[in-house]
Amino acid sequence: MAGSPLADQALAGEGLRKIHYSERIMPTLSALASRFASEKPFDGMTVAACLHVTAETAVLARVLRAGGARVALAASNPLSTQDDIAAALSSCEGVQVFAEAGADVGTYYSHIARAAEAGPDLVIDDGGDLVSTLHEASPDRMPIGGCESTATGVLRLRRMMAEGALRFPVIAASDTPAKRLVDDTHGTGQSVLDGLIRASGILLAGKTVVVAGFGTCGTGIAECARGLGARVVVTEVDPVRALDAALRGFRVLPLADAAPLGEVFITATGSADVITAEHMTLMRDGAILANAGHFDVEIDVRGLEDLAAVAEYHVRRHADAYELPDGRRLLLLAEGRVVNLVAAGGHPPEVMDLAFGIEALSLAWLARNAEKLLADVYPVPPDIDAEAARLMLTALGAGIDTLTEAQRAYLASWHTWR
């Protein structure tokens, strides 16, 4: 492969095997592969992508290729690059890969530059580096549109927009109703419990688990913990969310009241300093602290270190014990960093299947509609989110109904009635 001189082609066989396996467990993308193979939405187009070079991304790349695109893929993070995947993917006709595990910063940006040089009609970005490079490097040849996968990247785009710099429409694919269900509530719910069990080894049945925060993530964590037999106490700052928790049968308490009760504490608030040293002084001997929030600021780890007479690191993998002056010990998992990514396998493949499904559909929509759009940041069109949900439902063996014309008419009249 002329385009991928960097990868060790000897690894391609192993990489292909992983990609084939991932195709089996990513049914949304697999369905799109079939659809795109007949519809060819990207016929004659080039898609440049800057993404983690993993099996899941390879499945996406092949879906785009099936849709007629030439694909140029650069790594969005050299630490996540899997060389066997890079090799396998670059052996596919029409796909170029610029990626090397552990590449240095210079190499990283040169890879992105090479993807930009492909002259893409459409782009998928993960953090904003590809879009930024395109604006700087080839200001006279812009793509017709793109997708951004992360909240951070969307922020960069909005800043570009505010400065009048953005020159093509980009869909912010980081947050949709379907993604919130699959990623936040169920993906995070299961994987946080998974990380907790792996890092602590404990049996959840009968334990008191305090979940701080009852947003889309906290809801999933609380329900999964209850589903494994734990008694769950929820803490919240928002009365309506708290009422939701209470009416679902969870005990709802201020954290200071929950502190002496909990055997496990999990933060999922998005806020900072949720569990403070003051709370820690109230806790039972052996209490376990874990954070499920994106940033490692929810548990006051520095406060814990100040409080502790002795800290024993790595009493288990991903578990450190802190002994308070009175002999009680608290167990901190994953150093207070996001426990499902650190101590468990991270997001289940279903999460990436849906997320990439939304991005693939968004690109196909852009291929048809980009010329009607301004250079701006757009939300995912609701129809695309619905379509991705529908594909996931099909994969789960589920089906839905369609409103009849008469029902549409009734609902329209009823809405004015309301």
Q: What is the largest CA-CA distance in the chain?
A: 72
Region binding a second copy by CB under 8 A among candidate stretches 61-69, 112-120, 246-254, 356-364: 246-254
Of residues 120 and 349, the one with the C-beta less far from a second copy: 349
Report how far residue 101's alpha carbon sits from residue 75's, in angstroms, rounded to the nearest whole number: 9
Query: Residue 146: CB partners within 8 Å, gap ≥ 6?
Result: 122, 123, 124, 125, 131, 168, 169, 170, 171, 366
Task: For residue 117, state whether it binds a second copy (rule: CB under 8 A).
Answer: no
Of residues 151 and 309, the one with the C-beta less far from a second copy: 151
Q: CB of residue 291 vs a second copy: minimum separation in angstroms?
A: 15
- Residue recorded with tokens 């994969």: 395
In terms of DSSP bridges, do strands 170-172 and 377-379 run parallel, antiparallel, or are they unpaired?
Answer: parallel
Query: Residue 87: CB partners within 8 Å, gap ≥ 6?
Result: 4, 7, 8, 9, 10, 11, 12, 15
Region binding a second copy by CB under 8 A among candidate stretches 88-96, 124-132, 141-149, 266-274: 266-274
Task: For residue 248, state whether it binds a second copy (rule: CB under 8 A).
Answer: yes
- By CB under 8 A, the residues from 356 to 395 that bind a second copy are 385-387, 389-390, 392-393
Task: For residue 167, state whether it binds a second copy (rule: CB under 8 A).
Answer: no
Structure tokens at 311: 């800290």
Applying CB under 8 A, among 109, 117, 251, 282 the residue interacting with a second copy is: 251
Q: CB of residue 271 vs a second copy: minimum separation in angstroms?
A: 5
Applying CB under 8 A, among 3, 187, 336, 357 the residue interacting with a second copy is: 187
Applying CB under 8 A, among 189, 218, 336, 357 the residue interacting with a second copy is: 189
Report how far residue 67's alpha carbon sits from residue 80's, in angstroms, rounded to the nearest whole number: 26
Report how far residue 149's alpha carbon sits from residue 161's, in angstroms, rounded to the nearest whole number: 17
Task: For residue 34, state whether it binds a second copy (rule: CB under 8 A).
Answer: no
Q: Which amino acid is at 3?
A: G
Task: For residue 206, state whether it binds a second copy (rule: CB under 8 A).
Answer: yes
Of residues 46 and 269, the one with the C-beta less far from a second copy: 269
- By CB under 8 A, the residues from 295 to 354 that bind a second copy are 297, 312, 315-316, 321, 329, 345, 348-351
Query: DSSP states of 102-126 as a string?
Result: T--HHHHHHHHHHHHHT--SEEEES
Structure tokens at 168: 């093509």
Residues 389-418, mask of contacts with a second copy (x by CB under 8 A): xx-xx--xxxxxxxxx-xx--xx--x-xxx
Q: CB of residue 232 vs a second copy: minimum separation in angstroms?
A: 8
Q: How far is CA 385 from the centre of its chain?
A: 16
Of residues 104 and 278, the one with the C-beta less far from a second copy: 278
Structure tokens at 126: 């993960």
